Amino acid sequence: DTGVSQDPRHKITKRGQNVTFRCDPISEHNRLYWYRQTLGQGPEFLTYFQNEAQLEKSRLLSDRFSAERPKGSFSTLEIQRTEQGDSAMYLCASSLASWGSSSGYTFGSGTRLTVV
Amino acid sequence: AQSVAQPEDQVNVAEGNPLTVKCTYSVSGNPYLFWYVQYPNRGLQFLLKYITGDNLVKGSYGFEAEFNKSQTSFHLKKPSALVSDSALYFCAVRDGSNDYKLSFGAGTTVTVRA
């Protein structure tokens, strides 16, 4: 296990379609995070899980967005009825619950979504 | 509330010259500060962090950062820049009152010319 994996790397979809992204964290990390990064901006927090529990959701996460981590391992992020404003890089990260001696997050390479 | 400002959108330096990328922060408690680097179409790579202790933090690839509490700054520095340091750099902060969310600056694009 060499890092956080995200699939797909790129997704082009038509407006109104549903999309789903997958994230596989570092296996021993019990926390998993989703961030969104738009052009010219830093990543913005969307949500995070500790094991299978979703503990926090940002106001950025509208009702069209849903995230799951059913067995406390991989996670999925689904966007329903996509809009052009959803075009962004979706970043997944994982960490241990205790940050003290670690680098904090380990990020995946991201999924770039383009809604046309 | 926690936030980060990176006042420069772009920094251009010649190879071999010192590189500084500026960051100021705002938190309501003790700050946990991070620097990440992003190459095109890639995720963020950790460079260094400050949690407590020495104000001068040394990190990966020859980078270091100085924590200045009175100026609420955490500037990233490298004594001698390389062309391969050309990338997008993000400063991030976490308030000590929360243990999960990072707030990122808008990023600074560094270009090192040969």
pLDDT of B55-104, one tens digit each?
999 999 999 999 999 999 999 999 999 999 999 999 999 877 777 889 99
pLDDT of A14-39, one tens digit each?
999 999 999 999 998 999 999 999 98
Tell me the helix, strand and coil percentages in chain B, rounded to 5.
5, 55, 40
pLDDT of A62-107, one tens digit each?
899 999 999 889 999 999 999 999 999 999 999 987 665 456 789 9
CA separation for the pair A95, A103 (Å, rounded): 9
B10, B101, B108, B109, best to mutate vs chain A, most A CBs in 10 Å = B101
Residue with tokens 């570092």: A26
Residues in A whose CB is inside 8 Å of some CB of B read 4, 6, 9, 31, 33, 40-45, 48, 55-56, 91, 93, 97, 99-100, 103-110, 112
* pLDDT for res A99: 60
Answer whether B100 sits within 8 Å of A4, measured CB to CB: no
